[in-house]
Amino acid sequence: MNVKKRMNLFLGVLILAGGSLCAQNVYVSTPKTSLVLSAPQGGKLKYMYYGSKLTEADLQNFNAVDGQTQALGAIDLAYPEYGLSCPTETALAVKHADGNMTLQLEVIKSTTKEEGNATLTVIELKDKIYPFLVNVCYKAYQDADVIESWTEISHQEKKPVILNQFASAYLPIRRGDVWLSHLYGSWANEGQLSQEPLTPGMKVIKNKDGVRNSHTSHAEVMFSLDGKPQENTGNVIGAALCYSGNYKLRIDTHDDEYHHFFAGINEENSTYSLKKDELFRTPALALTYSNEGLSGSSRNFHRWARLHKLAHGTTPRKILLNSWEGVYFDINQKGMDQMMADIASMGGELFVMDDGWFGDKYPRKNDSSSLGDWVVDKNKLPDGIEGLLNDAKKHNIKFGIWIEPEMANTVSELYEKHPDWIIKALEREPVLGRGGTQVVLDLANPAVQDFVFGVVDNLMTSYPEIDYIKWDANMSIVNHGSNYLTKDNQSHMYIEFHRGFEKVCQRIRTKYPDLTIQACASGGGRANYGVLPYFDEFWVSDNTDALQRVYMQWGTSYFFPAIAMASHISAAPNHQTFRTIPLKYRIDVAMSGRLGMEIQPKNMTDEEIALCKTAISEYKTIRPIVQLGDIYRLKSPYDKQGVASLMYVTPEKDKAVFYWWKMEQFVNQHLPLVKMSGLCPDKLYKVHELNRIDNVPLSFEGKTFSGAYLMANGLEIPYNHRVDYHKQNDYSSRVLYLEEVK
């Protein structure tokens, strides 16, 4: 019997051995990682191991006898419940109808089955006394090193059980020199990276926005297990909560040997009354493990995302021009045609008309009216969307459109007809948002779900040639109240909003599977894996300043692949920071994500248009590498060494793209030499600079180097561009294309 067959037989015995307290461990694995749990029937479900892939010999050390492990002990409960012998943080806390607030969960059985390219393991738990059930689920992807974990909670008690706390998953992390990497920020400053050692006490990362959940903090974290985080070395656990709503991540460092990590829906003001036989499914927590540092963990997340968690994740994205910063609300037929002609002439493939195109009784002239009235403003667009589609066809490009379907303005025909459709506290006047009139529609209401679906459905039914939708969401939930939910279930509002949102998204994707949809939410408010299965990409930030984008896109890349990160070339001075950055630098930053433009082309010089045309052509060459390749972050802008650098490499390691951005300019400055990574040491690579503006080529232009040399030494990048004196400035950037010489 070969090794693989013996291994499979051993694992089958390990997982399926049942009946008594003896010998029932559960083994969950991906190609490079293993998770082992002790699951004796009638006993407690406990963690035993999570980390790099175990061998058959290693697994034998986890054999269980009479509920006690030999050689290696169980760490902790895999899903800690409140009430008995649990004085610290818990994953699950309930109140039974009789007032009892305790649980005592025991293993009933475990099952394993194949689901496509994944293996699903379900461990069934039941309370010792009450008919209260919890399924702890693990989905291990066999084509990506990610394990998703979630729970399914139900009961058969006569009356509802109150769920006070309902985390998706728990993970103990061995104490030592453990560091936490996570993202924070604000509007126009999203995706900022924070790295800190874990110390005694509680670390809480949470969101209470109600609609968007990634502006200020992110529901994704990384744990560096052996000291200060390194990009391409070190052991790292990554975790990403796949939820579009309010979340809470807790890291409790108490007096034992572990940091205790919990992740799930934020239970604040969201206690849930669970009816008999109702199934409450928590969102999945995606876990990955890498011994190749932070970038290794990112590569795992990116591959999983492209294959499983991102609409059309393996289809390269079109290069587009969005109208917003070019014209804002000043939409008109002639102007749109002109912008289409301009992007087509530069080699672009898609034009997106942003806000300002709609409204009949209340034409959309600014952000204070018309949301909800999704009809064409014929004064602005006399030929309607049909005319725009004809213009796009004339220029041989695709057409896209902006909508904000979850929102309304009090100045709108929709609000006049359906004031009861908004989220509003009972007996209170609504608190209004953007423009002094904006409100959020109550997606718990099936009639509202039908309306929001209808916004997309009506557009696509009337104009099936629409290729792209920019879906915005510009307001938080600032009123707690639902006219649809019963008075005793008002605490379900946040959860039901996102259930409704997901139902709408599922309906849209079922009917329009090929439509490209961007998740925009005042910028980067919906960069999360609860949204992305239904969306192709997200708008990283409303801030298009290239220098600040280096920081934002760097942080965002920890968890999200370049194919999902919309990155646009915009005007100078920048509309948000008013910083003047040369076009070359703006192009080089935008080319590290999904390239687009956010500018008025008619205001550009002929030289600028020519440079953009060249850049778009060259981006098409590297697009598969950037959007589908493996990321290697090399020099972080957060290290304040004056330079930032990263690269993308194809899985075959035959092509790569290297990015280098100077972050500041001083006389007699000394920047670190950047060594490359991810190449094949034995392969030879020819170097070619993209977007070149220098009068003379780089000294290594067209030369060939071994992967071993480039990873050991890197290339000496000139600190400044060699251009005519009147074109000198304080910015410098380079993009190098590496191609294997065979």
Name the token pair of 30. Answer: 């991906």
Name the token pair of 576. Answer: 């948000």
Q: What is the pLDDT of residues 639-663, one digit of tens each?
A: 999 999 999 999 999 999 999 999 9
pLDDT confidence of residue 57: 85
pLDDT confidence of residue 59: 86
pLDDT confidence of residue 86: 82
pLDDT tops 90 at residue 2: no
pLDDT confidence of residue 74: 67
Q: What is the pLDDT of residues 241-268, one digit of tens each?
A: 999 999 999 999 999 999 999 999 999 9
pLDDT confidence of residue 60: 82
pLDDT tops 70 at residue 295: yes
Residue 562 binned pLDDT confidence (cut-offs 50, 70, 90): very high
Q: What is the pLDDT of residues 117-167, one digit of tens each?
A: 999 999 999 999 999 999 999 999 999 999 999 999 999 999 999 999 999
Distance in angstroms (rounded) separating the CA atoms of residues 529 and 502: 12
Q: What is the pLDDT of residues 515-535, one digit of tens each?
A: 999 999 999 999 999 999 999
Measured CA distances, 205 to 184, 229, 247, 261, 577 (Å): 9, 19, 8, 11, 28
pLDDT confidence of residue 72: 55
Residue 102 binned pLDDT confidence (cut-offs 50, 70, 90): very high
Lowest mean pLDDT among 5-14, 62-71, 200-209, 723-732: 5-14
> If you average pLDDT over every residue of the chain, what do you get?
95
Q: Where are the beta strands (DSSP E) in 453-563?
A: 466-471, 516-519, 537-539
φ, ψ at 26 (rounded to 5°): -115, 125
3-state secondary structure of 620: helix
pLDDT tops 80 at residue 590: yes
**What percentage of the chain reaches a pLDDT higher than 70?**
95
3-state secondary structure of 176: coil
Contact between 168 and 264 under an 8 Å Cβ cutoff? The reply is yes
pLDDT confidence of residue 10: 34
Q: What is the pLDDT of residues 600-627, one digit of tens each?
A: 999 999 999 999 999 999 999 999 999 9
φ, ψ at 337 (rounded to 5°): -60, -40
pLDDT tops 90 at residue 69: no
**161-174 and 92-95 beta bridge pairing:** antiparallel
Q: Classify the C-alpha dihedral 551-520-497-413 as positive or negative.
A: positive
Angle between helix axes 606-628 and 333-345 (nearest 10 degrees) is 70
For the chain, helix, strand, coil in percent to 5 are: 25, 30, 45
pLDDT confidence of residue 340: 98
Distance in angstroms (rounded) separating the CA atoms of residues 632 and 96: 50
Q: What is the pLDDT of residues 452-479, one digit of tens each?
A: 999 999 999 999 999 999 999 999 999 9
Residue 6 binned pLDDT confidence (cut-offs 50, 70, 90): very low
pLDDT tops 50 at residue 174: yes
**CB neighbour list of residue 704: distance below 8 Å, 6 or more residues apart:** 684, 685, 686, 687, 741
pLDDT confidence of residue 63: 63
**Helices and strands in the chain: count of H runs, count of E runs:** 13, 38
Q: What is the pTM of this model?
A: 0.96
Among 397, 415, 403, 399, which Cα is nearest to 356's? Answer: 403
Lowest mean pLDDT among 69-73, 299-303, 408-412, 522-526: 69-73
Distance in angstroms (rounded) separating the CA atoms of residues 531 and 234: 30
Name the token pair of 390. Answer: 């004809």
